[in-house]
Amino acid sequence: MQERMLRLIQIDWVGPYSLETITKLQDISQDYGIYQIYCKQPVYGKDVLLYIGKVDQQTLGKRVTRKLGGYK
């Protein structure tokens, strides 16, 4: 019989944030993790999941600002 290691990952979800608020999340000690971006889509309506990302080597504020570019 083969032993398998189980790894538990705990996620504390906070939000939603506006684009204005999320760009202010610049504390490298706590502003990292997994994020989702939603948008309004003509066929499916509002609040449609557009993107899921992970931030671990920069802050959420920097990552989301870079990912969205000029789409505000």
pLDDT at 17: 85
Of 21, 23, 19, nearest to 61 by C-alpha is 23
Averaged over successive runs of 10 residues, the pLDDT of the chain (72 residues) comes to 88 82 89 87 88 89 78 51
Give the predicted TM-score (pTM) of the model.
0.65
Contacts 24+ apart (CB under 8 A), 13-21: 19/64, 19/68, 19/72
pLDDT at 70: 54
pLDDT at 18: 85
* Alpha-carbon separation of residue 42 from 37, 46, 47 (angstroms): 16, 8, 11
